[in-house]
Amino acid sequence: MSLYIVAVPIGNLGDITLRAIEILNKVDFIIAEDTRYSLKLLNHLKIKKKLISYHKHNEVKKSELILRMLKKSDGAIITDSGTPLISDPGFVLVKKAMESGIELISIPGPSALITALTISGIDPSKFIFLGFPPRTDSKLRSFLSKVKSLEFTLVFYESPRRVEKFLKIAEEIFGKREFAIVKELTKKNEKAIRGSLNKYSEIIADEIILGEIVIIIEGSVSKSVEGVPEINTMEDIYTYFKTKYSISKNDLKKRIMRKKNS
């Protein structure tokens, strides 16, 4: 039988796809992160199905039960909003289902990170989604430092109450890069707040930061220095020293070894 991974609206119920409605009507049961929350959508669609609660605290235990059900019936997994598995429960089940030979079918639809990226005003051509960042200051600094040099737009999810702390540390690490906070996507108070990280405090001073938050930060911009060649390998280093200082490869190797041993 099959397990359908079904994307649902982020906020506006009108964003449900026709195919998603068809599948949710077709399957024998629906796996939901929060059954109470999902009932609002299902009642809106007039869909009545057996609901199974599946969240991060019970996903290992519930996966075994669901796998037994999938041996003889079709199921669909949904999340509270957006696409399942993306910073939401579901991967444990999908992995086990795949290993058990159950067919996996993805029903595409809304995704907060993609929706936010398209209105951020920051280059979407190449990006990395990093989910929810660490909560403690030290771990957050370490985490952001590791991605500082990446030439990709950086996309994060964050809690409204941690946005200011995140931006403060992001400014320390990234400096004057452009950023965007996108909040309340597809809802009445949807808004993209944009600017430079070094001015984040004044940019958000009068803003009410509520709801689900996506933060997007400009990637590292590679700046070549005139007269300095691009160096990616040891061979590039040998060539540079040979050209600029007339030092042979063997002589440079000897100097490096002497430096290591000193």
As a whole number, mean pLDDT of residues 126-153 equals: 96
pLDDT at 229: 58
Q: How many CA atoms, within 13 angstroms, populate the side-chain half-sphere of residue 13?
A: 11
pLDDT band at 253 (very low <50, low <70, confident <90, very high): confident
Assigned CATH topology for domain 2-110: Cobalt-precorrin-4 Transmethylase; domain 1 (3.40.1010)
CATH architecture of 113-217: 2-Layer Sandwich (3.30)
Predicted confidence (pLDDT) per residue in 32-50, tens digit: 999 999 999 999 999 999 9
3-state secondary structure of 191: strand
As a whole number, mean pLDDT of residues 191-208 equals: 96
Is the pLDDT score of 262 beyond 70? no
Predicted confidence (pLDDT) per residue in 240-251, tens digit: 777 767 777 777
3-state secondary structure of 10: coil
pLDDT at 48: 96
How many Cβ atoms from other residues are within 10 Å of residue 48's Cβ? 10
More confident position, 154 or 56: 154
- Calculate the alpha carbon distances from 11 to 28, 76, 82, 185, 256 in Å: 25, 20, 9, 7, 60
Q: What residue segments make up the domains of the chain, in order of their start?
A: 2-110, 113-217, 227-262
What DSSP designation does 224 have?
A: P
pLDDT band at 222 (very low <50, low <70, confident <90, very high): low
Question: Token match 């809802």: residue?
Answer: 187
**Angle formed at CA 185 by CA 179 and CA 189, multiple of 5 degrees:** 100
pLDDT at 224: 47
3-state secondary structure of 195: strand
User: Does pTM top 0.85 for this prediction?
Assistant: no
Query: Average pLDDT, whole number, for the chain?
Result: 91
Is the pLDDT score of 127 beyond 70? yes
pLDDT at 223: 54
d(CA 216, CA 157): 9
How many Cβ atoms from other residues are within 10 Å of residue 155's Cβ? 24
d(CA 12, CA 66): 29
The answer to whether the beta carbons of residues 92 and 100 sit under 8 Å apart is: no
Structure-derived torsion over alpha carbons of residues 72, 56, 79, 93, reported in degrees to the nearest 10: -30
